[in-house]
Amino acid sequence: MVSPELIDLAYLVASVLFIMALKGLSHPRHAVRGNLYGAIGMLIATVAVMLSAGLDFTWIIVGMVAGTAAGIWYAYSTKMTAMPQMVALLNGYGGGSSLLVAGVELTMHGAKQSSMELIATAVSGLIGAVTFSGSLVAWAKLEEMKIAKDLRLPGQQALNALLVAACLALSAALFYHPTWIVLYWLIVVVSLVLGFFLVIGIGGADMPVVISLLNSYSGMAAAATGFVLGNNVLIIAGALVGASGIILTQIMCVAMNRSLTNVLFGASGGGGATMSKQEVDAVYATVKSTSPEEVAMMLEVASRVVIIPGYGMAVSQAQHAVSDLTEALMEKQITVEFGIHPVAGRMPGHMNVLLAEADIPYELLKEMDEINTTMEQCDVAIVLGANDVVNPIARESTNSPIAGMPIINVDKARTVVIIKRSLSPGFAGIPNPLFAAENSLMLYGDGRHAVVEILNALQGK
């Protein structure tokens, strides 16, 4: 058996690597290195845990083989476009495993657990279960499943408060009766219901806030389980995930002009009234369409072009074609920039990751506030598979799922070309008057295909 000092040293090295990983991940230029540090740290932590106590490896190996096989199958069978859903599920599994480990520890050593360990056990059960059920609902919403449509019961806030109170009462009871294991599983059941209701009512523009919050919860649940097990590296790793998730949540709230309490307790981002087909048709009465050749001619005479990518760029995997188009335009001395909305796509940083994958220089990517100050000086704005993040309804309406959300003001550009397959709505499910604006032209088609055709026309092929 390896000495405890050596194990502690390994934990320390792993923890330092986790911190270096977070630092590395803060910028695309060193993100790959950051990722590597994190992976090495996790390997060291896992090996150290395995060597630390006199463990029976039989079930551990069975679990590892089954988990690895399922993980490899799942990762390979998941399309790139379904990555956000996969991330949501993995978050949920983190919460689920934390609550299971804390539950097993309580069953085996409950009678001997200290006050701190008992409190940590209850916290792990509560946050772990909220993370698990909340993440499953988030996954279903990202899959755009009908059963996960926004649902808010009358008196929902009172019901949520009641569920929290029940969890606290059960936790207090567990504290005084640590051998009554059933109390722990009751905390888990009540928290699963709480997690479901906390997320099912949230929709439209508020989803990114919830996703980063669930990410943070999974870290907090892991840290609590670290206290239950007395495992320092789990406490540190969990705290890092919890803290960075909270910072990301705060960034998302500020970017979306939302307050966290409003998102969680339903005071913003309401479903809004659904429009009839006639009303939608009226919004789109003056839509004009264009062709790749016409767009190429407009680009030819432009001096500044701004590309606004959205979820459709991810679906069509258009980033490499966009990179080629950017290069061709820059060769013609045309300034090209990208307007990146903080919630474009389906996960935080989605567009940045795709554009970095296609080697588009990071300096060309401008955040929403920066690009908005110069939209009037833009000759052609190309909206590539984006919809909600450029929808002027957000500025004008108070009764829509995206009301109050800051958008990229593409309508201020001289000409706007919108590339998408149809007039279908985006994630928030509402029509977009931008498509019918006087300076807008629709280029219908798959994002990648359309960009390739524009490029061919530009190069006279």
- Show the tokens assigned to 373: 């100050």
Kindly tell me which residue out of 24, 103, 195, 426 binds ligand NAP, with binding defined by CB under 6 A: 426
> By CB under 6 A, what part of segment 402-421 binds ligand NAP?
419-421
Nearest CA to 334 among 300, 377, 368, 367? 300
By CB atoms closer than 10 A (0-12, 13-18, 19+), residue 349 is: middle
Smallest distance from ligand NAP to CB 345, Å: 5
Neighbours of 407 (CB within 10 A): 22
- Asked if 207 interacts with ligand NAP (CB under 6 A), we say yes
Would you report the helix, strand and coil content of the chain in percent, each value rounded to 5? 65, 5, 25
Task: Say whether 388 is catalytic.
Answer: yes
Part in contact with ligand NAP (CB under 6 A); list of ranges 45-53, 201-209, 232-240, 361-369? 201-209
Nearest CA to 23 among 300, 240, 338, 304? 240
Smallest distance from ligand NAP to CB 213, Å: 11
DSSP states along 264-314: HHTSSS---PPPPHHHHHHHTTT--B--HHHHHHHHHT-SEEEEEE-HHHH
The one-letter amino acid code at 66 reads A
Kindly tell me which residue out of 58, 333, 398, 422 binds ligand NAP, with binding defined by CB under 6 A: 422
Task: Specify the length of the chain in residues.
Answer: 461
Smallest distance from ligand NAP to CB 274, Å: 16
Q: Which of 56, 150, 324, 388 is catalytic?
A: 388
- Asked if 387 interacts with ligand NAP (CB under 6 A), we say yes
Coil, strand, or helix at residue 369? helix
Part in contact with ligand NAP (CB under 6 A); list of ranges 20-28, 157-165, 206-214, 374-382? 206-214
For residues 46 and 399, which CB has a smaller minimum distance to ligand NAP in the complex? 399
Part in contact with ligand NAP (CB under 6 A); list of ranges 43-51, 171-179, 299-307, 386-394? 386-394
Kindly tell me which residue out of 34, 204, 271, 406 binds ligand NAP, with binding defined by CB under 6 A: 204
Q: Which residue is nearest to ligand NAP (CB)?
A: 426
- Asked if 389 interacts with ligand NAP (CB under 6 A), we say yes
Nearest CA to 340 among 304, 391, 306, 377? 306
Residue pointed to by tokens 């294991």:
181
**Residue 16 and residue 38: Cα distance in Å, rounded?**
9
> By CB under 6 A, what part of segment 267-326 binds ligand NAP?
310-312, 315-316
For residues 206 and 337, which CB has a smaller minimum distance to ligand NAP in the complex? 206
- Asked if 447 interacts with ligand NAP (CB under 6 A), we say yes
Contact 98, 224 (CB under 8 A): yes
Smallest distance from ligand NAP to CB 138, Å: 8
Residue numbers at the binding site for ligand NAP (CB under 6 A): 204-205, 207-208, 211, 310-312, 315-316, 343-348, 350, 385-389, 419-422, 424, 426-428, 446-447
Q: So which residues are the catalytic ones?
A: 388
